[in-house]
Amino acid sequence: MTDPASTQAATREAPRRLVPSGRAVAVSVAVAVAALVPVLVESDFWMLVLGTAGIFAIGAIGLHLLTGITGQVSLGHAAFVTIGAYTTAYLGAERGWPLLAFLAAATVFGGLVGLVVGPFALRFRGDYLVVVTLALIFVTTYVVENWESVTGGFNGISANDASTSIGPVDFAELEVFGTTFTRAEGLYYLAWLLVGLVAVIAYNLVRTKPGRAMQAIRDQEIAASVTGVSVARYKVAAFAISSAMAALAGSVQALSARFLSPNDEIGELFLSIRFVAMIVVGGIGSLGGAIVGALLIGPLPELVRELVGVLDFSVPIIDRPLVTDTQADGGIFSSSSFAQLLFGALLIVTLIRYPTGIAGAFNAARRRIAVSSRERRDGGRPDTGDGPPPG
């Protein structure tokens, strides 16, 4: 026999299930906007910018799991991006593997390298761990420069012939409902589809038992160990997952760049620093913050290069252009150094003004709005948290 109280409770709860949560609405709107952007913008430059942001978002989500959730700081992300990019160039362009195969191979290979390196990183923490992960970049650069049969060495390797098709869908010549998209627009869709996939994996992982164990390690490593959490296993797993996602980002970057060489920025320390800055500016520990940080910081060099024509005005007294394509053109800053200056300024301002990042500021604003709404609903009585006010 049905309990009347249970029936009444279920009846009261039913209407709530029919109304989507605010987060579901926000995600739906974001997906709809992302899908419509190429149709509305119709600019290959902005598609390149937003596609690059998507590629960075994939890697930033991986670093979010490692640093924001597990509490391990890494400056080796650029090494795994490089591994993924060269795996794509070799398997996709040189060996003719299909798109899904070399994307999966790059992801798995990056994860395996992370799995091998992870146990060594376990012996260190804090600044020492940063130095160890930093060494990965130098090792990877050495391998890229000297393993000529796979990477092309100093001459580089082309990724132009790598497949961009999944079955009948070719992202380089995408056609949907009679509308033809350019290669930049197609790769934009590919990048953001992968962002959605990686974000769903990260979102659900954090809410599982392993995800809670990673957060326990971040907050109180000794206490987590005492309660039976295998600190070593979860740290290595976080390192491997983060590395795999970075390699996946590198794989898509190879499709976008079409040619790789040791002089590219994907193997530079600055790229790793940019990844760290993305999750700091976005808000450490926030999945949405990592994506927002990638949107703000990821395509910054491309934006500055595009704006060189606006920023090349002569500076009074110094009588030199502010920004030129290269330093040899006589400018005070080259486009790349000016992008680094803006990057540093953005990072400093964010840390001073919003120490918890954009996600922290957003959550604080949302709490203030909620408190204000509750006060208005209660007739202007301040919410002191001490129970009902005296009558």
Query: CA 264 to CA 378: how far, in whole Å?
Result: 60
pLDDT, position 374: 84
pLDDT, position 126: 66
pLDDT, position 382: 53
Q: What is the mean pLDDT of the chain?
A: 84
pLDDT digits (tens, 9 = 90+) for 140-174: 999 999 999 999 989 999 999 999 999 888 998 88
Would you say residue 335 has pLDDT above 60?
A: yes
Q: What sign has the CA pseudo-torsion 245, 246, 252, 255? A: negative
Q: How confident is the model at residue 11 (pLDDT cuts 50, 70, 90)?
A: very low
Per-residue pLDDT, averaged over 285-314, amounts to: 83
Q: How confident is the model at residue 21 (pLDDT cuts 50, 70, 90)?
A: low
Q: How confident is the model at residue 390 (pLDDT cuts 50, 70, 90)?
A: very low
pLDDT digits (tens, 9 = 90+) for 78-108: 999 999 999 999 999 999 999 999 999 999 9
Question: What would the two tokens of residue 68 be?
Answer: 């924001």
pTM value is 0.84
Q: How confident is the model at residue 349 (pLDDT cuts 50, 70, 90)?
A: confident
pLDDT, position 62: 94
* Range of 37-51, 283-297, 320-334 with top mean pLDDT: 283-297
Query: CA 24 to CA 67: how far, in whole Å?
Result: 26
Would you say residue 212 has pLDDT above 70?
A: yes
Would you say 58 and 253 are in contact if contact means Cβ atoms under 8 Å apart? no
pLDDT, position 134: 84
Q: Is 330 left (phi over 0), alpha (psi -120 to 50) or beta?
A: left
